[in-house]
Chains A and B, each alone.
Chain A
């Protein structure tokens, strides 16, 4: 068994590793008793930190009496979980059929050409991460995107420019 990452002799600063580990441990403690606790724990960590840091894996594995390989296997299986921090804002562009029928490919091209955004990529300033998503359940108002967790319908390239411009002008703000 690997030893737990040692937290006690780390510097104390906001967002420090020590704080990160404390958040991870708090999530684990709150949810480890749930039946099938692994997904709720990984969600809890990502909700708190924006991603699931590599440091989480041994701690979660130990708490649930799983191997690190099992935890890693689950972490890497699901599209939602990310192991590195995303941009300050997350734009999820739906590329499923109803949105394809209403021109989402043109939006993808626009994001690529105008904003240098590729799927799974982040703008050079770290402001926006673009992710593909397969249906937001907004198919009667396609094309759809999700901007920081909120669905937007009947999206045009002008609206995308507005949002991305807005992210830049307000300096990025927290998600």
Chain B
């Protein structure tokens, strides 16, 4: 019987050589006349170990990592197909504390299964949610989501049950379910890992949502920066349709749900739900004023249930195991788990799905192992480019939506980017304004013009020109952006700027370097 070997087909693993490793394993096995089954799985999310090769043995799946192509011959020599000793052997991945301490609900299959195999998916509990949904009443499904306490994982944390109920009760001949897979926040990659590692979970979640709210058509809006995920998702859609998870006759029930994939075109603003709808309709990604809310008038003016990938990926297990089970995890009004993403300057970056309530310090040090550079962590940005920069004094804040807002932050999509003490926070504040200038849709004036003025004002501060006056002007400008912007892009850009100014004022008062160019401004290109 041939041995099964797993090598991840996740783009982060490929980015550090997983394809070369897989090829080397296949080639050397052929040379030595060894028969093995090579499965390309998703990533376990322990990225410092990637490429993480796993071998199925009677003792379980034994991991070796990071395995580069030039390590492969020595692995064969060490008898890794029998779990043999080697300097890269890490034992059973689930015994590694980083993984052992997690509570994986949405990610429970990622890294374990062949992402494109329906048989593998069902062998690991997939499909049960849709099967029970097809037996249930729509109102009962909505009730289950409400009971779970699930809130939108894209960043806004709006209670999912309320959205489902609104769409269910909206009378219309055609309704839609739209998945926002425009994961643009720096420091986030959980959507990508699901799309590449367990796409059927998202597909099943969307089919359940369609059955619950009465929508027969769905769209996935996927950012163009994820071409590898697009390839996997396309294949997954074909396989799901062939297995009856999509199409005209869901699992033989006679119910219909068709799902279409659309590619974005490199616009951060299209992660904002109404800009995304415009883009899906074939227009510029300009934000729509609300009301009307998309739940009542969304895609092509029809009632539309819009959720982030992670929200929809949580749905199958909620319907399968019941809303109360999911609500059993978490803290305060933040129920369930959140896949946090540890990124930037950390020794052990990766995916950490735990219940709400974990502190930033636990994530940064217990999981993340401190900075990659070995220098002190000085600032952490939580919640993407519109999230606040937090200093060490805030590291004990529990990560739940309300506690974090109280601490001046935002959990957002759960991205956590660490910076060591070489960071210049005035430059980070400038970057936040510059990013807003580059990515603003241009619909509202505070965001479109205020962001460019913000870059200029911060440049004058950095250059030491009339600092007190310009800092007062910057605060005034931020006040305008916060209160007068149409959406969160302009409305939250002041968050990184002001938090940098509040917590790291010394960086705004450094002696200017004569003639230091503000080079980054070259990237602002006008439409």
The interface of chain A, by Cβ under 8 A from chain B, is 35-40, 42-43, 64, 70, 73-74, 76-81, 95-102, 105, 108-109, 118-120, 132-142, 144, 146, 149-154
The interface of chain B, by Cβ under 8 A from chain A, is 11-12, 14-16, 47, 50, 183-189, 191-192, 224-228, 262-268, 279-285, 300, 341-346, 349-351, 372, 381, 385, 415, 417-420, 423, 428, 431, 435, 438-439, 441, 519-520, 522-523, 525, 527
Assess the A133–B225 pair: CB atoms within 8 A: yes
Give Cα A118–Cα B285 distance, bound, in whole angstroms. Answer: 27
**Most chain A beta-carbon neighbours within 10 Å: one of B15, B191, B525:** B15
Beta-carbon nearest neighbor of B46 in chain A: A140
Q: Is the contact region of chain B dominated by helix, strand, or loop, or is it mixed? A: mixed
Assess the B265–A150 pair: CB atoms within 8 A: no
List chain B residues, Cβ under 8 A from A39: 262-265, 279, 282
List chain A residues, Cβ under 8 A from B262: 36, 39-40
Assess the A154–B16 pair: CB atoms within 8 A: yes
A-B pairs with beta carbons under 8 Å apart, 23 shown: A36-B282, A43-B224, A74-B284, A78-B264, A78-B266, A78-B285, A98-B187, A100-B428, A101-B345, A109-B519, A132-B523, A134-B438, A137-B188, A137-B191, A137-B225, A137-B226, A138-B189, A139-B415, A140-B189, A140-B349, A140-B351, A151-B11, A153-B15
Assess the B188–A139 pair: CB atoms within 8 A: yes
Beta-carbon nearest neighbor of B11 in chain A: A151
A139 and B285 contact, Cβ closer than 8 Å, known pairs A39-B265, A101-B419, A151-B15: no
List chain A residues, Cβ under 8 A from B431: 97, 100
Nearest CB of A to B440, in Å: 11
Nearest CB of A to B49, in Å: 11
List chain A residues, Cβ under 8 A from B184: 134-135
Assess the B12–A151 pair: CB atoms within 8 A: yes
Assess the A150–B225 pair: CB atoms within 8 A: no
Beta-carbon nearest neighbor of B226 in chain A: A137
List chain B residues, Cβ under 8 A from A40: 262-263
Assess the B16–A101 pair: CB atoms within 8 A: no
Nearest CB of B to A56, in Å: 15
Nearest CB of B to A173, in Å: 18
Assess the A141–B349 pair: CB atoms within 8 A: yes
A141 and B227 contact, Cβ closer than 8 Å, known pairs A74-B283, A97-B381, A98-B344: no
**Most chain B beta-carbon neighbours within 10 Å: one of A42, A74, A98, A137:** A137
Known contacts A74-B284, A81-B265, A101-B419; 16 further A-B pairs (Cβ under 8 A): A35-B281, A70-B283, A96-B435, A97-B417, A98-B186, A98-B344, A101-B418, A135-B185, A135-B187, A139-B188, A142-B343, A144-B15, A151-B11, A151-B14, A151-B15, A154-B16
List chain B residues, Cβ under 8 A from A99: 186
Assess the B350–A140 pair: CB atoms within 8 A: yes
Nearest CB of B to A61, in Å: 12
Give the residue of B189, B264, B345 whose beta carbon is less than 8 angstroms from that of A137: B189
Give Cα A76–Cα B186 distance, bound, in whole angstroms. Answer: 24
List chain A residues, Cβ under 8 A from B183: 135, 137
Give Cα A40–Cα B221 distance, bound, in whole angstroms. Answer: 12
Assess the A101–B423 pair: CB atoms within 8 A: yes
Give Cα A85–Cα B12 distance, bound, in whole angstroms. Answer: 29
Give the residue of A70, A80, A118, A140 whose beta carbon is less than 8 angstroms from that of B341: A140
Give the residue of A37, A97, A144 whose beta carbon is less than 8 angstroms from that of B282: A37
Assess the A139–B283 pair: CB atoms within 8 A: no
Give Cα A74–Cα B266 distance, bound, in whole angstroms. Answer: 12
List chain A residues, Cβ under 8 A from B265: 39, 42-43, 78-81
Nearest CB of A to B241, in Å: 17
Assess the B266–A80 pair: CB atoms within 8 A: yes
Give the residue of A80, A97, A150, A153 whose beta carbon is less than 8 angstroms from that of B344: A97
A76 and B228 contact, Cβ closer than 8 Å, known pairs A137-B11, A137-B192: no
List chain B residues, Cβ under 8 A from A120: 523, 525
Give Cα A42–Cα B439 distance, bound, in whole angstroms. Answer: 20
Assess the B385–A96 pair: CB atoms within 8 A: yes
Nearest CB of B to A133, in Å: 6
Give Cα A144–Cα B423 distance, bound, in whole angstroms. Answer: 18
Give Cα A70–Cα B278 distance, bound, in whole angstroms. Answer: 13
Assess the A139–B343 pair: CB atoms within 8 A: yes
Nearest CB of A to B489, in Å: 13
Give Cα A35–Cα B174 distance, bound, in whole angstroms. Answer: 14
Give Cα A144–Cα B417 distance, bound, in whole angstroms. Answer: 14
Assess the B285–A77 pair: CB atoms within 8 A: yes
List chain A residues, Cβ under 8 A from B415: 98, 139
Nearest CB of B to A75, in Å: 9
Q: Nearest 3 A-B pairs (CB), nearest first?
A: A140-B349, A96-B186, A139-B343
A73 and B225 contact, Cβ closer than 8 Å, known pairs A40-B262, A80-B265: no
Give the residue of B263, B280, B281, B418 whose beta carbon is less than 8 angstroms from that of A43: B263
List chain B residues, Cβ under 8 A from A70: 283
Assess the A138–B381 pair: CB atoms within 8 A: no
List chain A residues, Cβ under 8 A from B16: 141, 153-154
List chain A residues, Cβ under 8 A from B435: 96, 134
A139 and B186 contact, Cβ closer than 8 Å, known pairs A35-B300, A101-B417, A152-B15: yes
Give Cα A163–Cα B183 distance, bound, in whole angstroms. Answer: 28
**Most chain B beta-carbon neighbours within 10 Å: one of A79, A101, A133, A141:** A101
Nearest CB of A to B115, in Å: 16
Give the residue of B344, B439, B525 whose beta carbon is less than 8 angstroms from that of A139: B344
Give Cα A142–Cα B344 distance, bound, in whole angstroms. Answer: 6
Assess the B187–A139 pair: CB atoms within 8 A: yes
Give the residue of A95, A102, A146 whose beta carbon is less than 8 angstroms from that of B523: A95
Nearest CB of B to A52, in Å: 11
Assess the A134–B349 pair: CB atoms within 8 A: no
List chain B residues, Cβ under 8 A from A37: 282
Give Cα A77–Cα B283 distance, bound, in whole angstroms. Answer: 9
Give Cα A151–Cα B265 distance, bound, in whole angstroms. Answer: 17
Assess the A118–B15 pair: CB atoms within 8 A: no
**Most chain A beta-carbon neighbours within 10 Å: one of B263, B284, B415:** B284
